[in-house]
Structure 1
Amino acid sequence: MPLKDQLQQDVVKHMKDGDRVALQTVRNVLGEIETREKSGKSPVTLDDAQLTSLLQKEAAKRRETAAIYSEAGEQDRADRELAEAMVIEAYLPKALSREEVEAIVENVIAGLKEAGLEPSMRQMGQVMKPVTAEVAGRFDGKTVSEIVRAKLA
């Protein structure tokens, strides 16, 4: 089932369950999706990969906002933001562990070596492209970059 359809079905489920936080969060996310689809010169339909990226950004925004609230001493508001982030993260694919990402990076580097290339920092892009495609939203991109740098150094 497409991710957008799942979100729309869950609005009804959260209404029936009386889960106000989840209901409001899913509605906000659907609103953001609608805004993205209708913005621009012509309307578009976001695919699941684009929706996953959007959900990651929304969850990250809420975690950052929660940190700001915590620093300001507004713990109840921080808790609400974290609860919303958890609702959003439930729709994201299972995250990879650091060890799994390191194994993916090593496999890509080994594949390049078999193809006759000796990857170095100059060829970081040749390593990053297939790794990023395989990881695709299941691990932090900045950390992936750090792992690739460490393996190529």
Structure 2
Amino acid sequence: MREQFSEGLKLALKARDARRTSTLRMINSAINDKDIAARGENRGPATNEEILVLLQKMVKQREESFAIYVEAGRTDLATVEKEEIDILNEFLPKGLSEAEVDAAIAAAIAATGAEGPKDMGKVIGQLKADYPGRIDFGKASGKVKAALIGG
């Protein structure tokens, strides 16, 4: 993933795309911060999974800011946030559709042998391992709970 960001930054600089350049620099900076924190804990550099979580967090922060700016009538700032969201999303894996999420939940329940709500953690763990960054776990946890209660 790091190579994608570096290559994207080079292209943005050549194209003189200020928004893209600043967004990619922000991503690289956040990754470097993550690496420094990991070094302090005697771990290696951030893994692709950790970078993926970092990107998802950045998108979520921008979505919240976007909503606030739109509500406040600040279309200039909302536009900036939306552009950054679009750039960040280019590097995230494509999310699963509702039907695919339902199928993934059913497969994870079968794979873990989950039988009730007490096994919810096992199912979520399986989903996180199988579909990193492709499922909104805030929404999926409700579906998992419903499937475990219903099943």
TM superposition outliers: structure 1 runs of 4+ over 6 Å:
none
Give 1:24's match in structure 2, choosing from 19, 22, 25. 22
In the aligned structure 2, how far is the partner of 1:62 from the partner of 1:98?
23
Per the alignment, residue 58 of structure 1 pairs with 58
Q: How does 1:3-152 map to 2 (within 5 A)?
A: 3-39=1-37, 41=40, 42=42, 44-112=44-112, 117=113, 119-152=115-148
CA shift for structure 1 position 135: 2.1
Q: Greater CA deviation, 122-131 or 90-99?
A: 122-131
Could you tell me the percent identity over the aligned residues? 29
Structure 1 residue matching 2:134: 3-state secondary structure: coil
Structure 1 residue matching 2:31: 3-state secondary structure: helix
* Unpaired segments ≥5 residues, structure 2: none
In the aligned structure 2, how far is the partner of 1:118 from the partner of 1:84?
39
**TM-score, length basis structure 2:** 0.89
Q: How many residue pairs are counted as aligned between the two chains? A: 147
Deviations 1:28-56 (A, max 9, x none): 11111111211362574111111111111
In the aligned structure 2, how far is the partner of 1:130 from the partner of 1:86?
29
**TM-score, length basis structure 1:** 0.88
Aligned partners of 2:108 and 2:123 also within 8 Å: yes
Pair 1:126–1:118, CA change in 2 (3 A): closer
Q: Greater CA deviation, 32-41 or 91-100?
A: 32-41
CA shift for structure 1 position 5: 1.3
CA shift for structure 1 position 118: 6.0
